Amino acid sequence: MQKRKLGRSDLEVSSIGLGCMGMSHGYGPASDRKLMISLIHEAIDRGVTFFDTAEVYGPYVNEELLGEALAPFKGKVVIATKFGIQMENGKQVLDSKPERIRQSIEGSLKRLKVDTIDLYYQHRVDPSVPIEEVAGVIQDLIKEGKIKHWGLSEAGVETIRRAHSVYPLTAIQSEYSMMWRRPEEELLPALEELGIGFVPFSPLGKGFLTGKINKDATFASSDFRHVVPRFKPENIEANQVLVELIKKIAAGKNATPAQIALAWVLAQKQWIAPIPGTRKLERLEENLGAADIEMTHEELNDLNDALSKIEISGDRYPAEYANRVGK
């Protein structure tokens, strides 16, 4: 597995990481703990060194899962987790008050069984707490040795600049795929300018770009896609044109659609490290195979030209969640 550095930092990660949220949150009932620990170990055996979780996934159980799975590999892997979203009465609430951040870091350190967090993201920007105040708390935690690097998730460019001016950011995490290219407009140019790495989540369009989801697909109420407009039958049907394009390219490269979708993300910039998630070994192996697919400059240009002619149907978030991004 090749390695990449996130921006101009010294944080080196495997070019493809593993998003662990879906193992216990967001995509139906949690999977068997022992099976997921085994899958994480299989990932390490194949060169994955970058693992992503968050306090709110579960909540807490996803961090506990990683803490147990990664305990034998201290110092050999990079763990990213997040603060700033709390569950209250079954609803997600933004809270990045200084005292809450300090409570969160202590809980995450304990659950992850580590003395320091490699990469600590603010999960969503809290409009009620100035980002400069958040950055100040993070700076203190770094001085105390509890954090090595910090980042923001789904933050807007202005907020990123303000945060970075207080204490340099190592990475920004946001959705990015052939299906959601908005980061190319403002975010990626800003990150390049500032020397900040980019960690795309949902690089497979929440599974859509694998080509295995059609208009007859149904999602349980415990599966986040159940409320995502993009996954309504009419939008699934309309967006098959994108899947057909990816399948055509995959056939020419002797690859799968998922591998082409990931190879495309990897080809954009050398400081991008996507974190596709999975619960299955065969999917893990398939995803990691994308690192071996090379796309020439000409192939990339042709593909981007074709993508620009496709209009994606359906929003990526319901309104409640959409209101919290890009702040």
Q: Rounded to an integer, what distance in angstroms lies between the CA atom of residue 82 and that of residue 183?
A: 20
Report the distance separating Cα 48 and Cα 40, nearest Å.
9
Q: Tokens in use for 34?
A: 């022992």
Can you list the pairs that 222-227 forms with residues at least 24 positions away whose Cβ atoms lie under 8 Å? 222/28, 222/29, 223/26, 223/27, 223/28, 224/26, 224/27, 225/27, 227/318
How many CA atoms are closer than 13 Å to the CA of 76, on its beta-carbon side? 12
Q: How many CB atoms lie within 10 A of CB 299?
A: 16
Q: How far apart are CA 196 and CA 8, in angstroms?
A: 6
Q: Is there a catalytic annotation at residue 321?
A: no
Q: What are the DSSP E strand ranges found in the chain?
A: 3-5, 12-14, 18-19, 50-52, 78-83, 85-88, 91-94, 117-122, 147-153, 171-175, 197-201
Q: What is the identity of the amino acid at 48?
A: V
Given a contact cutoff of 8 angstroms between Cβ atoms, the answer to whether 81 and 129 are in contact is: no
Which of 57, 120, 121, 176 is catalytic? The answer is 57
Catalytic annotation, residues? 57
